[in-house]
Amino acid sequence: MSVSNVRDTREEVARLKTDIANAQAEARLLEYALLRGLSLTRKLTGGSESLADAISKAQKALMTIRLLHSSYLAFEASTGPLGLALAGISLITGLISAGEFAMEMS
């Protein structure tokens, strides 16, 4: 692999990391707007239980997604058997949380 190919690959990785960071920031803004909109609608409608339930489900879904994402990051950063064991525990916790969320939705 030539030096220019390595440089191009590094630049592409840097661009992808920037794109991922921008996407995460936009996702946080969308999350904030969604939950804020649901909360304001709930206040305007006098505390509707169905909206409270929707807010709760949205928050649980976001928590589960974050937990699974942190599990992925733990695997990505793990080194050695102890790191892999901790990442495995994180993944199991995320999968249990996702399973509980799926059972609540059905």
Q: What is the DSSP string of 31-95?
A: HHHHHHHHHHHHHHTTS-HHHHHHHHHHHHHHHHHHHHHHHHHHHHH--HHHHHHHHHHHHHHHH
Domain that holds residue 20: 3-105
Q: What is the pLDDT of residues 19-28, one digit of tens each?
A: 888 888 888 8
Number of domains the chain is built from: 1
Per-residue model confidence as pLDDT tens digits over 64-78:
888 888 888 888 888
Give the pLDDT confidence score for residue 1 in this predicted structure.
58
